[in-house]
């Protein structure tokens, strides 16, 4: 399925403005400060105002849980598209690009949790789970946890903030347990690999060597090499190059930056070298890759 034409044009994307290349919101379509302990609303509440299309965006300091009870459509998580088969749950951590094309009338809830609210959860399994986006079956215990949180959020009883914090943490823990039951149990090794990826994404444009990443992660370059080969099937250098090209594809598809700007953003001082590297990775020039995203249907 190709992106709908309206999925390719986003607000606040003036190239001269000092805004992130992919929209970053407190909540989708808003730029104000976050006003509550957390936020919980129906899918219908926001999606119907945007004709059931939520364009790709990210949240710098919010973790989100989507629980779809009926309807469906598809979700894009960091460039990978997944069909939605209700009931299902989606975990979209901070900084992960996500967008939706819902079937009209889709129902469910979206819960937005400030990242700081989960910072005190030091359990390594939970920390490892929380770093990566997930699509999970909507088990009855997850639905009950979402409904309990929504009911508390709507109320004004004493200790509301305390209960909301506890319910949010319990919901995320249940999501992590569901992910482990799928055969992908998080652990210390996965946590370090995911920490490497998160660090690399933050420093794509910097001239960091493998040794710099290893020092930042508290391990040797040799250990980091073994880790990435075991978990990603690549050397650290190849893994970093693949992340850089993944971000290049996002910027070309989702922003109005010209090809040279994309290259500079990712640390390529020579636009020609960036174009050659991109062609080696994708088989297309940057302009040819971008063209389908710019064509109106």
Percent of the chain residues topping a pLDDT of 70: 84
Separation of alpha carbons 255 and 202, rounded Å: 18
CATH code 2.60.120.280 region(s) in the chain: 21-176
Distance of alpha carbon 244 from the chain centroid? 16
**What's the mean pLDDT in 74-101?**
90
Closest CA to 168 of 186, 145, 185: 145
**What's the mean pLDDT in 107-116?**
92
- Is residue 238 pLDDT above 80, yes or no? yes
**Segment (H or E) for 154:** helix 140-154
pTM for the structure as a whole: 0.56
Handedness of CA 180, 184, 186, 187 (dihedral sign): positive
Domain 188-294 has CATH 1.10.10.60: yes
- Average pLDDT taken over every residue of the chain: 82
SS3 of residue 15 by DSSP: coil
Separation of alpha carbons 96 and 133, rounded Å: 7
Check residue 81 and give its pLDDT: 86
**What's the mean pLDDT in 155-179?**
92
Name the band, by pLDDT with cuts 50, 70 and 90, for residue 70.
very high
SS3 of residue 267 by DSSP: coil
Residues whose CB is less than 8 angstroms from the CB of residue 167 and which lie 6 or more positions away in sequence, other chains included: 145, 148, 149, 152
With 0-12 / 13-18 / 19 or more C-beta atoms within 10 angstroms meaning exposed / middle / buried, residue 232 is middle
**What's the mean pLDDT in 101-120?**
89
**What's the mean pLDDT in 83-98?**
91
Instruction: Tell the CATH topology of 21-176.
Output: Jelly Rolls (2.60.120)
CB 33 within 8 A of CB 83: no
CATH code 1.10.10.60 region(s) in the chain: 188-294
**Helices 210-217/236-254 angle, 10° precision:** 100
Check residue 162 and give its pLDDT: 92
Check residue 1 and give its pLDDT: 35
Q: What are phi and psi of 5, to 5 degrees?
A: -60, -40
């Amino acid at each position: 399925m190709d992106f709908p034409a309206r999925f390719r044009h986003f607000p606040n994307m003036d190239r001269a403005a000092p805004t992130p290349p992919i929209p970053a919101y407190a909540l989708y379509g808003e730029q104000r400060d976050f006003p509550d302990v957390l936020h919980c609303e129906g899918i219908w509440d926001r999606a119907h105002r945007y004709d059931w299309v939520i364009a790709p965006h990210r949240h710098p300091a919010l973790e989100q849980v989507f629980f779809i009870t009926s309807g469906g459509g598809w979700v894009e998580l960091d460039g990978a598209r997944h069909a939605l088969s209700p009931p299902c749950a989606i975990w979209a951590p901070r900084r992960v690009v996500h967008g939706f094309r819902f079937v009209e009338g889709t129902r469910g809830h979206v819960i937005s949790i400030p990242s700081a609210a989960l910072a005190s959860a030091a359990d390594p399994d939970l920390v490892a789970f929380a770093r990566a986006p997930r699509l999970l079956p909507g088990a009855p215990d997850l639905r009950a946890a979402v409904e309990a949180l929504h009911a508390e959020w709507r109320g004004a009883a004493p200790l509301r903030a305390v209960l909301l914090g506890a319910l949010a943490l319990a919901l995320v823990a249940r999501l992590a347990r569901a992910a482990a039951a799928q055969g992908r149990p998080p652990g210390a090794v996965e946590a370090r690999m995911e920490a490497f990826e998160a660090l690399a994404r933050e420093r794509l444009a910097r001239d960091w060597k493998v040794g710099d990443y290893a020092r930042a992660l508290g391990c040797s370059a040799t250990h980091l090499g073994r880790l990435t080969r075991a978990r990603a099937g690549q050397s650290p250098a190849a893994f970093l190059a693949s992340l850089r090209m993944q971000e290049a594809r996002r910027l070309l598809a989702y922003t109005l930056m010209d090809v040279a700007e994309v290259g500079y953003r990712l640390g390529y001082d020579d636009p020609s070298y960036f174009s050659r590297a991109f062609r080696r990775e994708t088989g297309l020039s940057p302009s040819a890759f971008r063209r389908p995203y710019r064509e109106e249907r």
